[in-house]
């Protein structure tokens, strides 16, 4: 009971102390908002591992999203499980789905996309995006998995109530922006 506030005070103190040394002007010696890439180099029998800053490979072809909704909702796309060029943007190089804090989608779309990604994997449409030790050819899979399968997107559950709350929130925000006095 007694220890929790003490640690809180300590944390606060450390925050204050770091703030004193950070200049208040937006001056940065190194670029803070960049992607990182881990490089492992061998120089004269020594292994040097360093994190290097790289520009985003998607910068040139990114669709700008000016809405408050998530990027997929604002585009209004009807994504199928065969649209591998879209679905491959949400997965890592080993084929696993990226979490919501990385993709930046809303809960409904994140759930829908992860289902579609698993459908595309099961249908063998994204076999290049797989762990290194996996058999990449879908016809070499076991039992029934080696045969061609397609999926029906209408089997993915959509929660109506969730859509309704989003809709209501958008209407409320719009009303607030119209007459800010109320």
Partner 1 sequence: MSQLGRVKQWNTFARCWHLFDAAWQNPLECSPTIEKYLKGLNKPIYHPLVDCGDHVVVINSKQIAFPGEEWRRRAYFHHTGYSGGATWTPAWELHDRDPTMIFRKAVYHHMKGNLFRRVVMERLHIFSDSNVPEEVMENITNQIPPLRSIPKTLSSYSKEEIEKYPKIIDYPEDFILSKN
**Residue entry with tokens 């290049």:** 128
**Closer residue to partner 1 (CB): 32 or 180:** 32
**Closer residue to partner 1 (CB): 3 or 101:** 101
Q: Does 73 bind Zn ion (CB under 5 A)?
A: yes
**Shortest distance, CB of residue 27 to partner 1, whole angstroms?**
18
**Shortest distance, CB of residue 119 to Zn ion, whole angstroms?**
20
**Closer residue to partner 1 (CB): 99 or 180:** 99
**137 and 127 Cβ atoms separated by less than 8 Å:** yes
178: enclosing H helix or E strand: helix 160-178
Which residue among 103, 109, 110, 114 contacts Zn ion (CB under 5 A)?
109
CA dist., res. 47 & res. 30, Å (int) = 24
| Closest to 113 measured CA to CA, from 145, 153, 151 | 153
Kindly give, in sequence order, each residue whose CB lies less than 8 Å from that of residue 73, ignoring residues fewer than 6 positions away.
67, 106, 109
Binding region for partner 1 (CB under 8 A): 32-38, 51, 54, 56-59, 61-63, 71-72, 75, 82, 84-86, 88-90, 92-94, 101-105, 123-129, 143-144, 147-152, 155
């Amino acid at each position: 009971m007694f220890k929790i506030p003490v640690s809180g005070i300590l944390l606060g103190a450390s925050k204050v102390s770091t703030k004193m040394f950070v200049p208040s002007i937006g001056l940065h010696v190194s670029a803070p908002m960049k992607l990182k890439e881990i490089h492992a180099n061998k120089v004269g029998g020594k292994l040097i591992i360093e994190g290097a800053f790289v520009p985003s490979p998607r910068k040139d072809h990114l669709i700008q999203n000016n809405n408050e909704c998530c990027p997929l909702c604002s585009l209004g796309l009807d994504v199928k499980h065969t649209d591998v060029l879209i679905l491959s943007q949400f997965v890592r190089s080993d084929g696993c789905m990226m979490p919501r804090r990385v993709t930046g989608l809303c809960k409904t779309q994140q759930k829908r996309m992860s289902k579609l990604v698993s459908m595309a994997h099961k249908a063998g449409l994204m076999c290049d995006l797989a762990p290194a030790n996996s058999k990449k050819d879908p016809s070499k899979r076991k039992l029934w998995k080696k045969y061609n399968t397609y999926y029906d997107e209408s089997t993915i559950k959509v929660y109506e109530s969730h859509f309704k709350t989003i809709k209501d929130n958008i209407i409320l925000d719009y009303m607030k922006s119209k007459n800010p006095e109320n």
